[in-house]
């Protein structure tokens, strides 16, 4: 039997491209729907469904304009919020501003001193002159940028944030809330006082030393080192303090190094006379209570040749000249341990003094003098080779720290690993007044005011006691029951909670924040005032409506609302409490990876400490960053960040939303790539055109194909829903925007045109898109004749009735045939004039399914199956063909997945299915196609290919 060859018009290329003049005007469409949403207040949280979902992102600091990188996390949050709405939750998605701390003050200062970059940025970003003038006031900075974030960023991106609950951390109500929180912490004995060391500028007061270098002009990545200062004594009892990071090496000291070119100063330190560098005295005076500089100075060279006594071991050692002893580093005086410190070894060699190194650490891989060996290894000859010396020092130090053991020369510490004994030695020496400590930056840190930043002791700093054993344990236990994404972070959290130490909770200075209730003029620092804040979103709604006044926000009020303690003073308290009980706890708190070790741990611990058990956070979602090319974090200071407002116009916000979701999983850094975003923009327009175009199709039914489309859509829905439930947003977006489109294109190319099927398919597709590209979805929804918001519709659910495994296998067969033909064409490099397809005979189909049955039961035994088959009188005449066939398919069948196994077992008329697709096949290969069944009579088979036909793998002959 032969079929007429049909050449069909290609719908995809022909008709659709002819609509090009009809362009997708995303900017006006976005505006249109945003206006409608916010007019209808669909973003305002309502208590209706008795099923709630509370999510929010870690509120941003208010320090200037944001860039496209920031929108990633916000977008995740909105997509999840929209998804949850559509699957039937009352969603509370509020937002606020973290206004406390330095950032807004810093910004205001820049405006005040007329910083050029800042003013230019403001003008470029469209900030009116009048407003700029006001921005010398930090509170105005907060006000201005809050409005920018809301209007220019969040609303512009279509975020259904409940803006009626907007709040910030410097409002009077919030401060009352924080004070209540600190009263709670105090009551629970979680506020403690102890000395603290912090970066401090003599001019400006406390400063932050961090990589963004907000406060400092230089040294942002400096670390604070903890030096041990060992008290060596001269003959007259004067102290020669040597600073070291390795106090345990005191047993190996052979001499001292003093810089002969330096003039040393003296000071009275706790009634001891110390000789050290001038810089050291200044530093000490910030860190110790009783430091009085004395007039007397001593030239370094005058000290050389004297001797001093090593503390603890009371050995007399000489003082030698060492030019590498830097007066700006620690005390300026160095003890020499030539066996274990490469600097000391080389200096000793250069001094030509007849001094033997004393080895006190046994370490694998080194012999009698690790320092010497490291120097020899790197070919170091002189004290001036600092780079190599640092490398040698690092090498020796690391090796000794991790694997070294103190030897018999170390008295009571002998036989113990360095990593275990280091602190013990230090503490013992301090105990005996033979040593003290001194903090020092690893590199010079210069304040913005050009002054050198010191480290200052605050003797009675208040801390939140996160080290509390009970609190830590309870928090760790609690995290096990939380929904935390990614999974890795869930595993890290207990370790982080263990590691998280006490946090200095207050500071003095002109920063914004809440006054600390137990010490006047001290402000609670910004991390500590941002731990329970989601709870405030319940109140802020009432505060903003002026229903709840600041004076009413007493401790009793908070006790009642949050803890259920006491009685309500007025009905409003009950309303608010009921709201709190409805919405709280938070289901998802979403934040960038920078919050992993700071914000999230304290967020959990404060809830565990203060809130009732059922109000503890349910989930945390951590997302990674958008980086610039080259993996650098986008930052304003480094430049190159694309402004949000411009980007929104350039690409469209739906495209950007999809870009954030699809370019990588939430748990990797992604590079901001304008070309890539452009691709997503094109995709928005393509989908828009595609959907519009479908209406002009001529209605036509193809049962198998139509059923396949319905079936595959259900498969997609299933995958999408599963992915959404675990916030695997990349998979969801991939299915919705790529796979579904691919399916549809396949359907159309195959000649599918069933109006009813397509209509319902498109409706479902639009619904699926809605959480991710809501503007596009609304616009398309409207073209479907809908009057309501798609954002308010129910999300599609999986419908098993539409699954048609038979038709899925049919399309699988078809693609298989196409793949095989393509491969043959590729290998033979021929241009086909005719393609013959031979489906396998009935007996093979029968045997194939039997083999599948056996495989499904995991007892496929080829020999057994052959025997069984031969017992069948119908099969018997086929003889050897049977055994050959079974032997061939046995291995293949075993590797078929369980799912496919069931599907393949369903009988399929391969010939009919392929025949239905014959016009498509001939169109794809540009030649006539003939389909034969192996059981047919008079089959055209010149190359004797027919015998190769197997089920789902027809034989092929190409001319």
Residues 351-370 that bind RNA (CB under 7 A): none
Stretch that binds RNA, among 295-303, 382-390, 821-829, 873-881 (CB under 7 A): 821-829
How many chain residues bind RNA (CB under 7 A)? 110
For position 914 contacting RNA by CB under 7 A, the verdict is no
Q: Is 435 helix (H, G, I), strand (E, B) or coil?
A: strand
**Of 172, 443, 491, 725, the one binding RNA by CB under 7 A:** 491
**Of 236, 316, 675, 871, the one binding RNA by CB under 7 A:** 675
**Of 272, 451, 820, 935, the one binding RNA by CB under 7 A:** 820
Residues 604 and 483: beta-carbon distance below 8 Å: no
Stretch that binds RNA, among 111-119, 379-387, 470-478, 660-668 (CB under 7 A): 660-668
Residue (432 or 940) nearer to RNA, CB: 940
Specify which residues 240 forms β-bridges with. 232
Of the candidates 283, 214, 208, 330, the residue with the CA atom closest to the CA atom of residue 456: 283
**Of 593, 692, 715, 849, the one binding RNA by CB under 7 A:** 593
For position 943 contacting RNA by CB under 7 A, the verdict is yes
DSSP 512: B
Judged by CB under 7 A, the chain residues 406 through 445 that form the site for RNA are 419
For position 22 contacting RNA by CB under 7 A, the verdict is no
Residue (849 or 945) nearer to RNA, CB: 945
Residue (324 or 401) nearer to RNA, CB: 401
Stretch that binds RNA, among 129-137, 227-235, 677-685, 702-710 (CB under 7 A): 677-685
Residue (188 or 947) nearer to RNA, CB: 947
Residues 229 and 435: beta-carbon distance below 8 Å: yes
552 class by beta-carbon count within 10 Å (0-12 exposed, 13-18 middle, 19+ buried): middle
For position 636 contacting RNA by CB under 7 A, the verdict is no
For position 96 contacting RNA by CB under 7 A, the verdict is no
**Of 32, 679, 755, 849, the one binding RNA by CB under 7 A:** 679
Residue 582 phi/psi, 5-degree rounding, is -75, -50
Residue (231 or 913) nearer to RNA, CB: 913
Judged by CB under 7 A, the chain residues 714 through 733 that form the site for RNA are 730-731
Query: d(Cα 635, Cα 67) in Å, to the nearest integer?
Result: 8
Of the candidates 44, 74, 37, the residue with the CA atom closest to the CA atom of residue 59: 74
Shortest spacing between CB 396 and RNA, in angstroms: 12
Mention every residue, 6+ apart, whose C-beta is less than 8 A from residue 85. Answer: 91, 160, 791, 792
116 class by beta-carbon count within 10 Å (0-12 exposed, 13-18 middle, 19+ buried): exposed
Residue (449 or 824) nearer to RNA, CB: 824
Of the candidates 2, 91, 101, the residue with the CA atom closest to the CA atom of residue 61: 101
Residue (251 or 920) nearer to RNA, CB: 920
For position 694 contacting RNA by CB under 7 A, the verdict is no
Residue (511 or 621) nearer to RNA, CB: 511
Residue (646 or 819) nearer to RNA, CB: 819
Judged by CB under 7 A, the chain residues 97 through 116 that form the site for RNA are 98, 100-103
Specify which residues 331 forms β-bridges with. none
Residue (299 or 423) nearer to RNA, CB: 423
Query: d(Cα 92, Cα 54) in Å, to the nearest integer?
Result: 5
**Of 142, 148, 209, 239, the one binding RNA by CB under 7 A:** 209
Structure tokens at 628: 């610039």
For position 543 contacting RNA by CB under 7 A, the verdict is no
Judged by CB under 7 A, the chain residues 383 through 412 that form the site for RNA are 398, 401-402
Look at strands 955-958 and 670-671 and give their pairing: unpaired
Residue (348 or 532) nearer to RNA, CB: 532
Shortest spacing between CB 118 and RNA, in angstroms: 16
Judged by CB under 7 A, the chain residues 761 through 800 that form the site for RNA are none
**Of 342, 526, 534, 933, the one binding RNA by CB under 7 A:** 526
Residue 215 phi/psi, 5-degree rounding, is -95, -30
**Of 73, 96, 158, 199, the one binding RNA by CB under 7 A:** 199
Judged by CB under 7 A, the chain residues 52 through 81 that form the site for RNA are 61
Query: d(Cα 130, Cα 432) in Å, to the nearest integer?
Result: 65
Judged by CB under 7 A, the chain residues 285 through 344 that form the site for RNA are none
For position 515 contacting RNA by CB under 7 A, the verdict is no
Stretch that binds RNA, among 316-324, 333-341, 362-370, 657-665 (CB under 7 A): 657-665
Q: Tokens 């009626």 identify what position?
A: 164
For position 125 contacting RNA by CB under 7 A, the verdict is no
Query: d(Cα 708, Cα 810) in Å, to the nearest integer?
Result: 8
Residues 55 and 96: beta-carbon distance below 8 Å: no
Of the candidates 484, 531, 539, the residue with the CA atom closest to the CA atom of residue 505: 531
DSSP 60: P
Of the candidates 904, 922, 889, 918, the residue with the CA atom closest to the CA atom of residue 853: 904
Residues 847 and 904: beta-carbon distance below 8 Å: no
Shortest spacing between CB 507 and RNA, in angstroms: 3
Residue (573 or 708) nearer to RNA, CB: 708
Residues 156 and 645: beta-carbon distance below 8 Å: yes
**Of 224, 378, 906, 927, the one binding RNA by CB under 7 A:** 224
Query: d(Cα 223, Cα 626) in Å, to the nearest integer?
Result: 26
- 521 sits in the region (left: phi over 0; alpha: psi -120 to 50; else beta) called left
Shortest spacing between CB 728 and RNA, in angstroms: 7
Q: In what order do the strands lie in the sheet with 632-633?
A: 632-633, 626-628, 670-671
| b (16+ CB within 10 A) / e for 269-285 | beebebbbbbbbbbbbb
Judged by CB under 7 A, the chain residues 869 through 908 that form the site for RNA are 895, 897, 900
For position 750 contacting RNA by CB under 7 A, the verdict is no
For position 552 contacting RNA by CB under 7 A, the verdict is no
Stretch that binds RNA, among 125-133, 483-491, 613-621, 856-864 (CB under 7 A): 483-491
For position 665 contacting RNA by CB under 7 A, the verdict is yes
Residues 832 and 825: beta-carbon distance below 8 Å: yes
Shortest spacing between CB 294 and RNA, in angstroms: 29
Shortest spacing between CB 265 and RNA, in angstroms: 27
Stretch that binds RNA, among 337-345, 361-369, 701-709, 828-836 (CB under 7 A): 828-836
Residue (232 or 462) nearer to RNA, CB: 462
Other beta carbons less than 10 A from residue 566's beta carbon: 14
Judged by CB under 7 A, the chain residues 443 through 462 that form the site for RNA are 456, 458, 461
Shortest spacing between CB 954 and RNA, in angstroms: 6
Other beta carbons less than 10 A from residue 554's beta carbon: 14
How would you write 603-655 as a 3-class SS string?
Answer: HHHHHHHHCCHHHCCCEEEEECCEEECCCEECCCCCCCCCEHHHHHHHHCHHH
754 class by beta-carbon count within 10 Å (0-12 exposed, 13-18 middle, 19+ buried): buried
Q: Is 395 helix (H, G, I), strand (E, B) or coil?
A: helix
Stretch that binds RNA, among 133-141, 344-352, 526-534, 928-936 (CB under 7 A): 526-534
**Of 377, 381, 470, 495, the one binding RNA by CB under 7 A:** 495
Residue (39 or 460) nearer to RNA, CB: 460
**Of 299, 356, 376, 488, the one binding RNA by CB under 7 A:** 488
For position 806 contacting RNA by CB under 7 A, the verdict is no
Shortest spacing between CB 485 and RNA, in angstroms: 11
């Amino acid at each position: 039997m032969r079929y007429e060859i049909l050449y069909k018009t290609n719908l995809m290329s022909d008709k659709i491209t002819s609509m090009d003049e009809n362009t997708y005007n995303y900017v006006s469409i976005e505006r249109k729907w945003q206006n409608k949403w916010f007019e209808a207040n669909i973003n305002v949280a309502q208590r209706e469904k008795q099923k709630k979902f509370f999510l929010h992102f870690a509120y941003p600091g208010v320090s200037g304009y944001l860039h496209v990188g920031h929108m990633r996390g916000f977008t995740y949050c909105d997509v999840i919020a929209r998804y949850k709405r559509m699957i039937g939750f009352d969603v509370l998605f509020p937002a606020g501003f973290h206004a406390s701390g330095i950032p807004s003050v810093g910004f205001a200062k820049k405006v005040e001193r007329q910083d050029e970059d800042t003013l230019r940025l403001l003008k470029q970003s469209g900030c009116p002159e009048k407003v700029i003038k006001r921005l010398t006031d930090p509170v105005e900075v907060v006000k201005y940028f809050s409005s920018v974030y809301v209007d220019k960023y969040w609303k512009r991106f279509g975020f259904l944030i409940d803006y009626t609950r907007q709040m910030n951390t410097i409002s009077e109500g919030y401060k009352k809330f924080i004070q209540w929180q600190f009263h709670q912490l105090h009551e629970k004995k979680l506020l403690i006082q102890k000395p603290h060391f912090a970066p401090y500028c003599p001019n400006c007061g406390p400063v932050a030393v961090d990589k963004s270098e907000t406060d400092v002009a230089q040294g942002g990545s400096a670390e604070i080192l903890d030096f041990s200062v060992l008290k060596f004594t001269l003959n007259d009892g004067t102290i020669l303090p040597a600073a070291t990071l390795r106090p345990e090496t005191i047993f190996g000291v052979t001499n001292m190094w003093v810089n002969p070119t330096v003039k040393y100063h003296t000071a009275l330190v706790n009634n001891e006379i110390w000789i050290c560098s001038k810089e050291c005295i200044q530093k000490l005076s910030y860190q110790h209570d009783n430091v009085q500089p004395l007039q007397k100075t001593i030239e370094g060279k005058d000290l050389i040749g004297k001797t001093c006594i090593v503390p603890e071991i009371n050995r007399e050692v000489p003082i030698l000249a060492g030019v590498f002893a830097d007066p700006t580093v620690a005390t300026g005086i160095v003890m020499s341990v030539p066996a274990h410190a490469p600097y000391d070894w080389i200096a000793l060699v250069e001094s030509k003094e007849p001094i033997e190194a004393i080895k006190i650490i046994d370490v694998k891989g080194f012999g009698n003098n690790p320092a010497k060996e490291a120097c020899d290894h790197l070919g170091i000859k002189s004290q001036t080779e600092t780079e190599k010396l640092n490398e040698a020092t690092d090498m020796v130090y690391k090796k000794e720290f991790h694997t070294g053991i103190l030897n018999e020369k170390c008295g009571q510490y002998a036989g113990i690993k360095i990593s275990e004994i280091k602190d013990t030695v230090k503490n013992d020496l301090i105990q005996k007044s033979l040593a003290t400590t001194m903090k020092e930056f690893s590199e010079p840190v210069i304040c913005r005011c050009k002054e050198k930043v010191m480290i200052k002791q605050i003797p009675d700093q208040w801390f939140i006691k996160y080290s509390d054993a009970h609190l830590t344990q309870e928090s760790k236990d609690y995290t096990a029951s939380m929904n935390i994404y990614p999974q890795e972070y869930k595993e890290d959290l207990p370790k982080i909670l263990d590691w998280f130490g006490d946090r200095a909770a207050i500071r003095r200075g002109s920063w914004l924040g809440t006054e600390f209730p137990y010490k006047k003029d001290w402000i609670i620092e910004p991390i500590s005032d941002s731990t329970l804040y989601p709870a405030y979103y319940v109140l802020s709604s009432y505060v903003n409506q002026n229903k709840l006044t600041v004076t009413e926000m007493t401790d009793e009020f908070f006790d009642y609302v949050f803890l259920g303690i006491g009685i309500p003073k007025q009905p409003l308290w009950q309303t608010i409490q009921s709201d709190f009980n409805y919405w709280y706890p938070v289901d998802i708190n979403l934040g960038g990876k920078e919050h992993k070790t700071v914000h999230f741990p304290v967020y959990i611990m404060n809830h565990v400490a203060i809130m009732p058990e059922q109000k503890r956070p349910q989930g945390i979602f951590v997302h990674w960053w958008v980086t610039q090319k080259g993996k650098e974090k986008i930052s304003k200071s480094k430049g190159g960040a694309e402004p949000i407002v411009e980007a929104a116009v350039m690409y469209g916000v739906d495209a950007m939303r999809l870009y954030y979701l699809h370019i990588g999983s939430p748990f990797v850094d992604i590079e901001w790539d304008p070309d890539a975003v452009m691709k997503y923009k094109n995709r928005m327009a393509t989908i828009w055109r595609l959907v519009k175009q479908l209406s002009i199709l001529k209605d036509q039914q193809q049962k198998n194909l139509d059923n396949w489309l319905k079936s595959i859509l259900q498969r997609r829905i299933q995958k999408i829903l599963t992915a959404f439930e675990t916030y695997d947003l990349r998979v969801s977006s991939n299915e919705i925007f790529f796979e579904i489109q691919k399916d549809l294109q396949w359907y159309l190319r195959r000649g599918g045109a069933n109006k009813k099927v397509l209509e319902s398919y498109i409706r479902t597709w639009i619904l699926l898109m809605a959480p991710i590209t809501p503007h596009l979805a609304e616009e398309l929804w409207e073209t479907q004749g809908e009057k309501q918001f798609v954002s308010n519709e129910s999300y599609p659910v999986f419908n098993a009735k539409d699954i048609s495994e038979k038709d899925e296998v049919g399309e699988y067969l078809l693609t298989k045939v196409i793949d095989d033909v393509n491969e043959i064409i590729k290998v033979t490099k021929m241009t086909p004039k005719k393609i013959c397809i031979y489906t396998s005979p009935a007996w093979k189909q029968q045997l194939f399914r039997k083999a599948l049955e056996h495989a499904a039961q995991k007892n496929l035994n080829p020999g057994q199956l052959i025997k069984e088959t031969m017992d069948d009188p119908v099969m018997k005449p086929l003889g050897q063909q049977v055994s050959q066939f079974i032997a061939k398919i046995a291995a293949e069948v075993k590797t078929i997945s369980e799912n496919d196994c069931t599907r393949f077992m369903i009988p399929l008329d391969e010939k009919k299915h392929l025949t239905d697709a014959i016009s498509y096949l001939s169109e794809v290969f540009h030649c006539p196609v003939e389909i034969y069944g192996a059981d047919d009579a008079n089959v055209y088979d010149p190359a004797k290919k027919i015998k190769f036909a197997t089920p789902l793998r027809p034989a092929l002959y190409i001319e």
